[in-house]
Each structure stands twice: as C-alpha cells, then as structure tokens.
Amino acid sequence: MPWATVAICGVGAALSAQPPTAGASRWSGSAQGSGSWLFGDTEQRALGARGAVSRADSVLEMNAALQSLYGEASLDDGARRVIKRLWLGSFTADWRPQARWSPFVLATVENNLEKRIASRYNAGLGVKYTARRTERTDVSLSVALLDERVTPDSVGAVSSRLTRWSTRFRVRHAFDDRTRFSHIVFWRPSATAIDRFVVQSSTELAVGLTGHTAITLTLLDNYDSEAVERGARGYNDGQLLLGLMASW
C-alpha cells in the first residue's frame, strides 16, 4: 500500500524562559503552532497549539499552560471523522526553584475525546529534586500526591475520585545557541492500585532560524490503562508534529 507522510506547520509565537538569576524577576510566555499530515489510501491530519505564561525569580516560579490537539481521518465513503480532540491546561508554582530541593503545588484540567474523558481534574503537592543544572543542561525529578476527579465521556457517566502519585522526569539541554532538546515524562499510578496509571511524555527538538524564531519537531505520547474501559479504541496514542516557534 503506497503512502507518504508529510508534516505541515502553523505559525505561533513563543517565549523561551531562561533560568532566572538571583533576585531577578521575569515574565515570559509561549504559543506554538504545529501539525502533521498522513495520506495514501486513507488520509489523516492533525493540528496542535500550545500557549504558556510564566513568572520566575529566586523565590517563586509560576507556570500556566494550555495545550490543544485536533485530528481528522477520512473514511472509506469519503466522509471525515474527528479522531482527536484534546484540551489540557496546567498550573504549577515552585518555591525556591533554584534550590536543589524545591516544594511545589500543581493543578491540571483535561478533556480528551480519544481517551473518552469529558473532564479530568487533579491538584496536589510535591517536591522537586534537581540533579544537574548548568548553563546548557537542566535535569530534575519530582514526586507529588494528587487528588483526582474523572468524568467519562459517555451517556449517564458517573464521576469517580481517586488519589494518584505523580512522578515526573525532565531533561533540557542546549547543544549550542540555536539547537535545544527537551524531554519530559509523567508516570501517574493510583495510590491504591499501581496497575491503574497514566503515562504522558513530550520530546522536542528546536532548531533556531533567527534569534527569536525556531522550527520544532515534537513527539507526544499518551498511555491510559483505563481508556478502553471508558470506551476508547486503545490504551495508547501518539503524534509527531512539525511546528514553528517565535520568542522574545
């Protein structure tokens, strides 16, 4: 079956936050547009967007972000069907973010058609350990305890509530002034049943075009062990996106 894959990118604006210096305070933000297109016997296309704003100094760092993803696929009769529709918002606040150990609070809200989630809210407290921080590299591991409420996307669905652990590993590295790499992965098991878990990861490579613009290649992956129970077609979904980013 002949097929080909091409990626298309949308225009966005982004702010790239640098590690704050002691006593300094800086507002920053980001907005990124990206997309992908698969064609052949069937056609699939996806568009993604992400926006964020943050404020950081030596005492407190706050980050708020909103991510969306929309995808369609062609059917045998020529009609199109929506296969992806994701909204994911998050907020974090880190106390003394430049210290090796840093306590934080976080909250997220999610709507996910593919995972049959009408709404998923969680909030909690945690601590971050920074294993390495240099001018070019930042590596950290964090653990948090979350209270979560989930409403499935189905008729007559009843909300459920549970407590989750949230473990996050993050690495960011600048190869030079133009090329940056980042990887972040969350593992969120139930506090009472480890086989009920969510894994979310994002891997991105950004190559600068100018001092304030860059092309990005992003791999998103999402695994939910309870997705099929809610009516989803599978447990795992992923997307490779090409995008354009601008910063100031």
Q: DSSP secondary structure string, 21-87?
A: PTT--EEEEEEEEEEEEEESSS-EEEEEEEEEEEEE-SSEEEEEEEEEEEEEEE-TTS-EEEEEEEE
235 within some domain: yes
Q: Is the pLDDT of residue 104 over 60?
A: yes
189 within some domain: yes
DSSP 8-state secondary structure symbol assigned to residue 194 = T
pLDDT band at 42 (very low <50, low <70, confident <90, very high): confident
Beta strands (DSSP E) in 75-134 are 80-95, 101-112, 117-133
200 within some domain: yes
Q: Is the pLDDT of residue 206 over 90?
A: yes
Output the domain CATH number for residue 231.
2.40.160.40
Q: How many domains does the chain have?
A: 1
4 within some domain: no
196 within some domain: yes
Distance, in Å, from the CA atom of 113 to the CA atom of 83, rounded to the nearest integer, reads: 8
- Position 25 scores a pLDDT of 61
- Position 115 scores a pLDDT of 94
- Position 20 scores a pLDDT of 41
230 within some domain: yes
More confident residue, 9 or 105: 105
- Position 228 scores a pLDDT of 93
Distance, in Å, from the CA atom of 169 to the CA atom of 102, rounded to the nearest integer, reads: 14
Range in 184-188, 209-213, 229-233, 242-246 the model is least confident about:
209-213
Maximum CA extent, the chain = 62
Nearest CA among 219, 208, 218 for reference residue 246 = 208
104-124: string of b/e by CB count within 10 Å (b at 16+)?
Answer: bebbbebbbbbbbbbebbbeb
The strand pair at 137-152 and 4-6 is best described as unpaired
pTM attached to this predicted model: 0.83
Q: Is the pLDDT of residue 93 over 90?
A: yes
- Position 24 scores a pLDDT of 56
CB 180 within 8 A of CB 135: no
Distance, in Å, from the CA atom of 233 to the CA atom of 248, rounded to the nearest integer, reads: 41
Residue 229 has φ and ψ, to the nearest 5°, of -60, -30
Range in 31-35, 81-85, 153-157, 177-181 the model is least confident about:
153-157
Domain region containing 63: 56-68+85-246
How confident is the prediction for the chain on average, in pLDDT? 87
CA separation (Å) from 94 to 49, 102, 122, 125, 229?
25, 6, 17, 10, 35
CA separation (Å) from 29 to 55, 162, 187, 200?
9, 32, 26, 22
Q: How many helices (H) and strands (E) does the chain have?
A: 0, 13
